[in-house]
């Protein structure tokens, strides 16, 4: 891949010397479709969800694509009374990413981030590379070298 085609996520990983594999997909709309297109276990493919708490603090949650974020468990994991999904229109100005291409890596601002505990279960996991049609596969422990992520049981 040429330097011009790299996403911000890939540039951040390159800068931090974190090994990753890039994957590309076309014409799919859901995370489970992406996993199927890549012929990967959906449990290894994670989506990035951005929330806002009653305190107005924003939090990022990384969950398997086929799973549903449990808002009560998520709030507890970050020490808040409640969290809610942000409006889709707020995603780009807040994170620098569009819906369907949001990555926990390389956001405009680093928010407290929690991944579902199963992220540790795999040699590598998949997350968005910051652009629709692009995924990166990397070791979760390596991802923790780039952003501060804790793990918790945060799905229903």
CA distance 36 to 32: 6
CA distance 10 to 116: 23
Question: Each residue of 46-73: pLDDT tens digit?
Answer: 999 999 999 999 999 999 999 999 999 9
Is the per-residue pLDDT at 14 higher than 90?
yes
The SS3 of residue 4 is helix
| Mean pLDDT, all residues of the chain | 95
Local confidence band at 1 (pLDDT 50, 70, 90 cut-offs): low
Backbone angles phi, psi at 85, to 5 degrees: -65, 140
Please give the pLDDT value at position 27: 85
Please state which CATH class domain 3-152 belongs to. alpha beta
Please give the pLDDT value at position 4: 62
CA angle 155, 102, 149 (to 5 degrees): 55
User: Strands 46-53, 83-85: parallel, antiparallel or unpaired by DSSP?
Assistant: antiparallel
The SS3 of residue 91 is helix
pTM: 0.95
């Amino acid at each position: 891949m040429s330097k011009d085609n790299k996403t911000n996520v890939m540039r951040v990983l390159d800068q931090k010397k974190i090994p990753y594999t890039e994957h590309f997909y076309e014409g799919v709309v859901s995370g489970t479709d992406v996993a199927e297109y890549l012929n990967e276990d959906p449990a290894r493919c994670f989506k990035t969800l951005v929330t806002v708490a009653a305190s107005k603090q924003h939090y990022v949650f990384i969950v398997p694509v086929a799973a549903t974020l449990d808002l009560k468990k998520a709030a507890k994991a970050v020490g808040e009374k409640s969290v809610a999904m942000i409006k889709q229109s707020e995603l780009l100005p807040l994170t620098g990413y569009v819906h369907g291409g949001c990555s926990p890596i390389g956001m405009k601002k680093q928010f407290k981030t929690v991944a579902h505990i199963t992220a540790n279960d795999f040699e590598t996991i998949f997350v968005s590379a910051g652009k629709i049609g692009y995924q990166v596969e990397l070791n979760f422990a390596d991802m923790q070298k780039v952003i501060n992520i804790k793990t918790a049981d945060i799905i229903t």
